[in-house]
Chains A and B, each alone.
Chain A
Amino acid sequence: MSEYLDIKKQLQACRSKEETFKSLVMLSKQLPRLSDDEKVEENKVKGCESAVWLISEEINDSRHFKADSDAKLMRGVLFAILSIVEGKSVADIQSMDIQAELTDLNLSSYLTSSRSNGVLAILEKIIAS
């Protein structure tokens, strides 16, 4: 949770899309990379212009996520998204308004339904996991 608050502070301090972009690039460095074995077709999120992989598993009633992308911007966005849902129960995740959380993080412009990114597809995969 403290990690999420840090990210929140950092992103909410951004005063322009330029600053948000730079913050996401910085955050992308904190997202552990997946191995080539994990970057397989079945872990891919469809509907993203960049390649995005998402894996989750359940340990003691909480969901744990790993994700990666070939684009830094998406790795930053993934890091922010995972900080919201990581370690929560399926019921909690399903009752959360993740889009509202992301809007709160100054990331609303990445929530477009356009084909250029795939944040909505990522959220769908998280909720379905």
Chain B
Amino acid sequence: MAFDPSLLRSQFPILSQQVNSHPLTYLDNAATTQKPACVLKAVHDYYCTSNANVHRGAHFLSDKATNQFEQAREVVQDFINAPLKSHIIWTKGTTESINMVAYGLEHILKQGDEILITSLEHHANLVPWQQLAFRTGARLRVLPLTSAGEWQEEFASYFTNRTRIFAATQVSNAIGTHTPLKEMLLRAKQQGAFTLVDGAQAVAHYPVDVEELDCDFYVFSGHKMYGPTGIGALYGKQHALEVLIPYQTGGEMVLKVAYQATEFNVLPYRLEAGTPNIEGAIGLAAASEFLNKQDRNALLEWEQKLANHVYTRLKKAGGIEIYSPEKHTTLVSFSVPNIHLIDLNGYLDGQGIGIRSGSHCTHPLMEQLGVHGTLRASFACYNTLEEADRFCDALFDAMELLGDE
């Protein structure tokens, strides 16, 4: 079926509202996306027809809930092309997934080992590694990627025989850079390091194939790909997941418990202590199916067209500092010299336009760019060209209103 933006948009109930007497223009999709009716219905139906705790009770509802919950795992497995469903661990989201790996790998690190990340990471893919380094005496190193994200031969020297963990984002949340993932993963694997890819900003836009990426761990959040908040996944290769020491223990993750010893359950349950977020898993599966039903290439082309349109208009207007590279993802990050971010944001909010202003949880990157923060307009499949123009026009009006001193 050909891609029709207005038809797609009509599936998102929240988008038809007025905000501050203007039609809502939601351009903060890199923070979180809105949810289509099919996701809302899946969560609602689960509570109306199937709610029970999973994996325990031998009764009708428990079986039904368990089946739906485990089917959801298979849907997400297919969505990222993981070889086995036991390679999908449910988590609260990207942040918990990364923490699970950072705690789970603590036992393999010793003084002098190196953890390598890039200069484009979100705090979620930085602080857990920094703290892991503090706990173990390992050294946190930072590959100095530029905004353009191009691979440079001198980067190779950052991958050493002491690199035990390499963690990188697929695309930058703050400025929309594609990282040179292929080149970096290749070097990391040559050194025998565990590799983790932060896919939080990628999954909604780019079809993901973890087998092709060939990383040890891939992490993402449901809420950034049209699914509910509070659910995400950690994908890991069999051997990589087996190395992880469970960072949470308790019910569900055990086979046999005595006072002196506990036998842990098999994967994926070994890493899923406690009652899981059942509705979240079902909602995330519904979001994956929603995306599967779309022509993903057409969606990406559309989102890219919107971001490119804004990029071009801002560039042409002049007086705007653009931080996103020419070859950017589906977002544009910028600031206007001498006008405060919250002034611009305040004006746009009055026009019903929601974008993000601030450091985007990337303090070191902002320092590298020499700014306190930026404004970020980020697009999703339901945005329209009219919205892109409404945003640009409002921004130019704001600059006129706020520019004089």
Cβ contact within 8 Å between B340 and A20: no
Selected contact of A50 from candidates B20, B21, B342, CB within 8 Å? B342
Selected contact of A17 from candidates B343, B350, B373, B402, CB within 8 Å? B350
Q: Taking the complex as formed, is A108 at the interface, i.e. its CB lies under 8 A from any CB of chain B?
A: no
Q: Are A22 and B20 CB-contacts (below 8 A) given A70-B340, A71-B342?
A: no
Cβ contact within 8 Å between A18 and B340: no
Q: Taking the complex as formed, is B374 at the interface, i.e. its CB lies under 8 A from any CB of chain A?
A: no
Cβ contact within 8 Å between A18 and B20: yes
Selected contact of B340 from candidates A16, A17, A50, A116, CB within 8 Å? A50
Cβ contact within 8 Å between A21 and B347: yes
Q: B21, B343, B347, B357 — which one has the most chain A CB atoms within 10 A of its CB?
A: B343
Cβ contact within 8 Å between B401 and A16: no
Q: How far is the CB of B265 from chain A (nearest CB, A)?
A: 40
How many Cβ-Cβ contacts under 8 Å join chain A to chain B? 47
Q: Hey, which chain A residues are within 8 Å of B358, CB to CB?
A: 49, 116
Cβ contact within 8 Å between B350 and A73: no
Query: Complex formed: what's the CA distance from A25 to B350 in Å?
Result: 13
Cβ contact within 8 Å between B342 and A73: yes
Q: Taking the complex as formed, is A93 at the interface, i.e. its CB lies under 8 A from any CB of chain B?
A: no
Cβ contact within 8 Å between A18 and B342: no
Q: Taking the complex as formed, is B177 at the interface, i.e. its CB lies under 8 A from any CB of chain A?
A: no
Query: Complex formed: what's the CA distance from A121 to B21 in Å?
Result: 29
Q: Which chain A residue shows the least CB distance to B345? A: A116
Selected contact of A25 from candidates B345, B357, B402, CB within 8 Å? B402
Query: Complex formed: what's the CA distance from A49 to B345 in Å?
Result: 12
Query: Complex formed: what's the CA distance from A50 to B358 in Å?
Result: 10
Query: Complex formed: what's the CA distance from A76 to B358 in Å?
Result: 20
Selected contact of B342 from candidates A16, A20, A49, CB within 8 Å? A49
Q: Taking the complex as formed, is A46 at the interface, i.e. its CB lies under 8 A from any CB of chain B?
A: no
Within residues 29 to 54 of chain B, which ones have a CB less than 8 A from any CB in chain A? none
Q: Are A22 and B340 CB-contacts (below 8 A) given A16-B21, A17-B350?
A: no
Cβ contact within 8 Å between A20 and B402: no
Q: Which chain B residue shows the least CB distance to A71? A: B340
Binary CB contact string for chain A from 71 to 101 against chain B (1 if under 8 A, 0 otherwise): 1111000000000000000000000000000
Q: Are A72 and B20 CB-contacts (below 8 A) given A18-B350, A25-B401?
A: no
Query: Complex formed: what's the CA distance from A74 to B21 in Å?
Result: 23
Q: A20, A21, A25 — which one has the most chain B CB atoms within 10 A of its CB?
A: A21
Residues of B within 8 Å of A, CB-based: how many? 17
Selected contact of B343 from candidates A18, A20, A73, A116, CB within 8 Å? A73
Selected contact of B20 from candidates A17, A116, A117, CB within 8 Å? A17
Binary CB contact string for chain B from 332 to 374 against chain A (1 if under 8 A, 0 otherwise): 0000000011110111011100000110000000000000010
Q: Hey, which chain B residues are within 8 Å of A72, CB to CB?
A: 340, 343, 402
Q: Hey, which chain A residues are within 8 Å of B373, CB to CB?
A: 49
Cβ contact within 8 Å between B342 and A74: yes
Cβ contact within 8 Å between B343 and A71: yes
Query: Complex formed: what's the CA distance from A98 to B172 in Å?
Result: 42
Q: Hey, which chain A residues are within 8 Å of B346, CB to CB?
A: 21, 73
Binary CB contact string for chain B from 5 to 43 against chain A (1 if under 8 A, 0 otherwise): 000000000000000110000000000000000000000
Q: B20, B346, B347, B358 — which one has the most chain A CB atoms within 10 A of its CB?
A: B346
Q: Hey, which chain A residues are within 8 Å of B347, CB to CB?
A: 18, 21
Q: How far is the CB of B96 from chain A (nearest CB, A)?
A: 22
Query: Complex formed: what's the CA distance from A70 to B321 in Å?
Result: 19
Q: Hey, which chain A residues are within 8 Å of B340, CB to CB?
A: 50, 70-73
Cβ contact within 8 Å between A16 and B402: no
Query: Complex formed: what's the CA distance from A20 to B349 in Å?
Result: 12
Query: Complex formed: what's the CA distance from A22 to B341 in Å?
Result: 16
Q: How far is the CB of B373 from chain A (nearest CB, A)?
A: 8
Q: Hey, which chain A residues are within 8 Å of B342, CB to CB?
A: 49-50, 71, 73-74, 116-117
Query: Complex formed: what's the CA distance from A74 to B20 in Å?
Result: 20
Q: B340, B345, B358, B373 — which one has the most chain A CB atoms within 10 A of its CB?
A: B340
Binary CB contact string for chain A from 91 to 125 against chain B (1 if under 8 A, 0 otherwise): 00000000000000000000000001100000000
Cβ contact within 8 Å between B401 and A17: no
The 7 closest A-B pairs by CB, nearest first: A71-B340, A18-B350, A17-B350, A17-B20, A73-B346, A21-B350, A71-B342
18 inter-chain pairs at a CB distance below 8 angstroms, sorted by A residue, are A16-B21, A17-B349, A18-B20, A18-B350, A20-B350, A21-B350, A25-B343, A49-B342, A49-B358, A49-B373, A50-B341, A50-B342, A70-B340, A73-B340, A73-B346, A74-B342, A116-B342, A116-B358
List 17 additional contacts besides A21-B346, A21-B349, A73-B340; criterion CB under 8 Å: A16-B350, A17-B349, A17-B350, A21-B347, A21-B350, A22-B401, A49-B358, A70-B340, A71-B341, A72-B343, A72-B402, A73-B342, A73-B343, A74-B342, A116-B342, A116-B357, A117-B342
Interface positions of A (Cβ within 8 A of B): 16-18, 20-22, 25, 49-50, 70-74, 116-117
